[in-house]
Structure 1
Amino acid sequence: MGTGHYFWAIFYFASLCSASLANNAKINFREKEKKVLDQILGAGKYDARIRPSGINGTENAPTLVYVNMFLRSISKIDDYKMEYSVQLTFREQWTDERLKFDDIQGRLKYLTLTEANRVWMPDLFFSNEKEGHFHNIIMPNVYIRIFPNGSVLYSIRISLTLACPMNLKLYPLDRQICSLRMASYGWTTNDLVFLWKEGDPVQVVKNLHLPRFTLEKFLTDYCNSKTNTGEYSCLKVDLLFKREFSYYLIQIYIPCCMLVIVSWVSFWLDQGAVPARVSLGVTTLLTMATQTSGINASLPPVSYTKAIDVWTGVCLTFVFGALLEFALVNYASRSGLNKANIHKENMKKKRRDLEQASLDAASDLLDTDSNATFAMPLVRHPGDPMALEKLRQCEVHMQPPKRPNCCKTWLSKFPTRQCSRSKRIDVISRITFPLVFALFNLVYWSTYLFREEEDETF
Structure 2
Amino acid sequence: MAGAMWPGALPLLLLLAVLLHPSRCTQGGKVNFREKEKQVLDNILGPGRYDARIRPSGENGTDGPAVVRVNIFVRSISKIDDVTMEYSVQLTFREQWLDERLRFNDFGGRLKYLTLTEASRVWMPDLFFSNEKEGHFHNIIMPNVYIRIFPNGSVLYSIRISLTLSCPMNLKLYPLDRQICSLRMASYGWTTNDLVFLWKEGDPVQVVKNLHLPRFTLEKFLTDYCNSKTNTGEYSCLKVDLLFKREFSYYLIQIYIPCCMLVIVSWVSFWLDQSAVPARVSLGVTTLLTMATQTSGINASLPPVSYTKAIDVWTGVCLTFVFGALLEFALVNYASRSDMHSDNIKKQFPPSDQMEHSSSIDPSSELLEPDGSANFAMKPLVRHPEDSMSMDKLQQCEIHMQPRKKNCCRSWLSKFPTRSKRIDVISRIFFPIVFAFFNLTYWSTYLFREEEGDE
- The question of 1:32 aligning with 2:30 is answered no
1:454 to 436, 445, 452: 452
1:239 equivalent in structure 2: 242
Q: How far apart, in 2, do the equivalents of 1:240 and 1:272 lie?
A: 57
2:278 is paired with a residue whose SS is helix
Contact kept in structure 1, 2:413 and 2:422, CA below 8 Å: no
- The question of 1:130 aligning with 2:128 is answered no
1:423 equivalent in structure 2: 421
1:68 equivalent in structure 2: 71
Q: How far 1:432 moved relative to its partner?
A: 0.2
1:258 equivalent in structure 2: 261
**Bigger helix fraction:** 1
Q: How far apart, in 1, do the equivalents of 2:33 and 2:340 lie?
A: 111
1:357 equivalent in structure 2: none
2:45 to 41, 45, 51: 41
Q: How far 1:384 moved relative to its partner?
A: 13
Q: How far apart, in 1, do the equivalents of 2:135 and 2:24 lie?
A: 45
Residue type at the aligned position of 2:67: L
Q: How far apart, in 2, do the equivalents of 1:101 and 1:109 lie?
A: 10
- The question of 1:289 aligning with 2:292 is answered yes
1:432 to 412, 430, 433: 430
1:151 to 141, 145, 154: 154
1:93 to 87, 93, 96: 96
1:426 is paired with a residue whose SS is helix
Q: How far apart, in 1, do the equivalents of 2:220 and 2:415 lie?
A: 68
Q: How far 1:20 moved relative to its partner?
A: 4.2
1:50 is paired with a residue whose SS is coil
Alpha-carbon RMSD: 2.3
2:301 equivalent in structure 1: 298
- The question of 1:105 aligning with 2:108 is answered yes
2:275 is paired with a residue whose SS is coil
1:376 equivalent in structure 2: none
1:394 equivalent in structure 2: none
- The question of 1:204 aligning with 2:207 is answered yes
Residue type at the aligned position of 1:255: P
1:176 equivalent in structure 2: 179
1:347 is paired with a residue whose SS is coil
2:439 to 423, 437, 441: 441
Q: How far apart, in 2, do the equivalents of 1:345 and 1:424 lie?
A: 25
Q: How far 1:105 moved relative to its partner?
A: 1.5
Residue type at the aligned position of 1:439: F
2:281 to 278, 282, 304: 278
Equivalence map 1:215-226=2 (5 Å): 215-226=218-229
Deviating above 3 A after TM superposition, structure 1's stretches of 4 or more consecutive aligned residues are 410-414
- The question of 1:163 aligning with 2:161 is answered no
- The question of 1:56 aligning with 2:60 is answered yes
Contact kept in structure 1, 2:132 and 2:163, CA below 8 Å: yes
Q: How far 1:23 moved relative to its partner?
A: 4.5
Q: How far apart, in 1, do the equivalents of 2:130 and 2:199 lie?
A: 17
Q: How far apart, in 1, do the equivalents of 2:423 and 2:444 lie?
A: 31
1:194 equivalent in structure 2: 197
Q: How far 1:224 moved relative to its partner?
A: 0.4
1:316 equivalent in structure 2: 319
Q: How far 1:223 moved relative to its partner?
A: 0.5
Q: How far 1:342 moved relative to its partner?
A: 3.1
The superposition leaves residues 225-259 of structure 1 with CA deviations (integer Å, 9 ceiling, x where unpaired) of 11111110000000011111111111111111000
Q: How far 1:34 moved relative to its partner?
A: 1.1
Contact kept in structure 1, 2:172 and 2:308, CA below 8 Å: yes
Q: How far 1:46 moved relative to its partner?
A: 1.0
- Number of residue pairs matched by the alignment: 380
- So what's the TM-score if we normalise by structure 1? 0.80
Q: How far apart, in 1, do the equivalents of 2:413 and 2:59 lie?
A: 100
Q: How far apart, in 2, do the equivalents of 1:213 and 1:413 lie?
A: 55
1:138 is paired with a residue whose SS is coil
The superposition leaves residues 178-215 of structure 1 with CA deviations (integer Å, 9 ceiling, x where unpaired) of 10000000100000000000000000001111110110
2:81 equivalent in structure 1: 78
1:388 equivalent in structure 2: none
